[in-house]
Chains A and B, each alone.
Chain A
Amino acid sequence: MASDDVWILGISMTRFGKHPDSDLIDLAAEATMNAIADAGITMREIGILAAGNLRGGGGIGQALQKQVGQTGIPVYNVANACATGATAVRVVHMALRAGEADFGLAVGVEKLAGAGLLAGGERQGDSATWAPQGRFGAVGPLDGRIGTETMPGVFAQIGMEYGHRYGGTSFELFARISEKNHAHSTLNPLASYQRRFTLDEIMNDVMISYPNTRPMCSANCDGAAAAVLVTGAALKTLAPEQRRRAVKISASVLTTDPWEEACQVLPNVNTLTRNAARRAYDTAGVDPEDLDLVELHDCFATAELVHYDNLMLCPEGGAVDFFNSGATWRDGSTPVNVSGGLESKGHPISATGIANIWEVATHLRGEAGDRQIPGARIGLAHVIGLGSACGVHILERAAA
């Protein structure tokens, strides 16, 4: 363990689902205290806290400290859409690399149960008289008149665009991706939904935005996740058991979308993911074929397909064949979303980017129970937030 490496020392996620009796801080505190205990340290050792939450009104980091430990350390409250959790990890990672602290804590939490489909939220009503407003000089709200602003609709188009470019996609193909993730979720006791859906059930469920039906959309739920990071230098001073269970962060990358034609018309989630993946593989010295498991951002079934390609798990343009080969099922060559993914595990937005890392780390530690990928040594966690931000982390098991 080189001194300038950064490792995960402790990590935790709450059960994702409905938590009517817990508020945001309860959930964040549960994840935090479990991660701290998992790390075998206390809040006293933590030198920096990065905390993410999008829908709770701000100041989550300090609110959390007031319940679990106020030690005067700097708090960075971060927000980066669905990449918020990964951004918190990235901030702590950078601080540790910069020598600002030996131990850092990243937390993400959201309460979304019952939030509905987040389908564009509320569209404002038209004003009494038409008057141009905003950057498009629009006389009324655009959503539904100039295309859709809903997430299921945007990501549906992203999957369809892939089909237009390379062919081979269909409603059934996208539904079968969802079928895989729901099947995987039956082994994950922390997932919001742990029920296997038949292909017919998925295709005949409520249509949200063609080709995404309800079970093909990420599940809104409550949840939190937290990770304790440690420098390689500090890890060397810790007990053998802590070192054995530590998981190396071989790459921690955050990107945004570089300008390309159309990127301000339909969000381009491809290039920034590809850029992040390329940089992560280079940094880690890892090839996509080396990955024993991948948790990627299947906010919709249509999104999972394009990220096979963007993460270079398959040849360019080959995502459909790759999926059809069975590669991404848990017994395939590159298991993807063995947690059940966002479609069944759930997507409490700010927690997601840490929960994905938790899933991978838990397999690398050999502690994933019934859904353990045998002998997992290297894994990748990916999230993307529209706007856009992409986080990619490559993790490796500690050398035995």
Chain B
Amino acid sequence: MPQTVPFVDYLVLGERPHLVARECTVCGARFFDRRNACASCFGTSFTRVDVPTEGEVRAFTIVAHAAPGVPVPFVSATVDCAGTSVRANLINVEPTPEAVRLGMKVRLALTPVGVDQAGTEAVSFGFEPRP
């Protein structure tokens, strides 16, 4: 049976896909990368917290020129998920200035990246418009 892996380690797949941040136990600053210490308060203790899967688009661009191998156009955005900012593509929306709006309400959605030589599928995330 083909295996599935998350594209990044802060994406949790399964029945209720969501992102997980590392939260500083001292000051509450949130990060998505592996940490040496907290960039805000220098603390070294972190807990894992679920990030809300719904948010609003705080900034976006429609990338028309990118590095070779990157399919264009696509929408890159900063999504404010109830106070935690997330970088992501906007998916399941036309990549046009008419279809994408600042302040647009969006929710996390999964998107396949591809299958490797061992038959493992990588699955990434984006945000799609909320009905």
Residues of chain A whose beta carbon lies under 8 Å from any beta carbon of chain B = 117, 119-123, 125-130, 132, 135-140, 142-148, 150, 152-153, 156-158, 160-161, 163-164, 171, 206-212, 259, 261-262, 264-266
Contacts of A127 in B (CB 8 A): 116
A156 close to B67 (CB less than 8 A): no
Mostly helix, strand, loop or mixed at chain A's interface?
loop
A68 to B: closest C-beta gap in Å: 38
Q: CB-nearest residue of chain B relative to A145?
A: B124
Instruction: Decide: A266 near B70, CB < 8 A? Known: A126-B114, A129-B117, A160-B102.
Output: no
Residue of B60, B114, B117 most packed against chain A (CB within 10 A): B60
A210 close to B59 (CB less than 8 A): no
A-B contact pairs, 20 of them (CB 8 A): A119-B65, A120-B67, A136-B8, A136-B32, A139-B5, A139-B7, A139-B113, A140-B7, A144-B63, A145-B89, A146-B87, A147-B76, A153-B61, A153-B66, A157-B76, A164-B102, A206-B64, A209-B65, A265-B85, A266-B87
- Confirm or deny: B74 has a beta carbon within 8 angstroms of a beta carbon on chain A: yes
Contacts of B72 in A (CB 8 A): 144
Q: CB-nearest residue of chain A relative to B103?
A: A164
B120 close to A130 (CB less than 8 A): yes
Q: CB-nearest residue of chain A relative to B27?
A: A259
B126 to A: closest C-beta gap in Å: 9
CA A160 – CA B104 in complex, angstroms? 13
11 other contacts beyond A164-B102, A208-B65, with CB at 8 A cut-off?
Answer: A123-B67, A129-B118, A139-B6, A143-B66, A144-B67, A157-B78, A160-B60, A160-B102, A208-B64, A211-B97, A264-B33
Interface positions of B from 74 to 131, Cβ below 8 Å from A: 74, 76-78, 83-89, 97, 102-103, 113-114, 116-118, 120, 122, 124-125
Contacts of B32 in A (CB 8 A): 136, 264-265
CA A157 – CA B72 in complex, angstroms? 17
Q: CB-nearest residue of chain A relative to B89?
A: A147
A10 to B: closest C-beta gap in Å: 40
- Confirm or deny: B39 has a beta carbon within 8 angstroms of a beta carbon on chain A: yes
Contacts of B97 in A (CB 8 A): 171, 210-211
B65 close to A117 (CB less than 8 A): yes
Instruction: Decide: A265 near B120, CB < 8 A? Known: A150-B66, A161-B59.
Output: no
CA A163 – CA B117 in complex, angstroms? 45
A392 to B: closest C-beta gap in Å: 23
Q: CB-nearest residue of chain A relative to B4?
A: A130
CA A127 – CA B97 in complex, angstroms? 34
B66 close to A266 (CB less than 8 A): no
A209 close to B61 (CB less than 8 A): yes
Contacts of B64 in A (CB 8 A): 206-210
B62 close to A209 (CB less than 8 A): yes
CA A120 – CA B72 in complex, angstroms? 13
CA A128 – CA B116 in complex, angstroms? 6
CA A132 – CA B58 in complex, angstroms? 29
Q: CB-nearest residue of chain A relative to B85?
A: A262
Contacts of A161 in B (CB 8 A): 58-59, 78
- Confirm or deny: B69 has a beta carbon within 8 angstroms of a beta carbon on chain A: yes
Instruction: Decide: A266 near B78, CB < 8 A? Known: A120-B67, A140-B113, A160-B59.
Output: yes
B85 close to A137 (CB less than 8 A): no
CA A272 – CA B6 in complex, angstroms? 35
A261 close to B87 (CB less than 8 A): no
Q: CB-nearest residue of chain B relative to A164?
A: B102
- Confirm or deny: B9 has a beta carbon within 8 angstroms of a beta carbon on chain A: yes
Instruction: Decide: A130 near B122, CB < 8 A? Known: A147-B87, A259-B39.
Output: yes
A113 to B: closest C-beta gap in Å: 18
Q: CB-nearest residue of chain A relative to B30?
A: A261
B53 to A: closest C-beta gap in Å: 16
CA A163 – CA B100 in complex, angstroms? 14
Instruction: Decide: A264 near B31, CB < 8 A? Known: A121-B67, A147-B88, A148-B63.
Output: yes
A138 close to B7 (CB less than 8 A): yes
CA A139 – CA B86 in complex, angstroms? 19
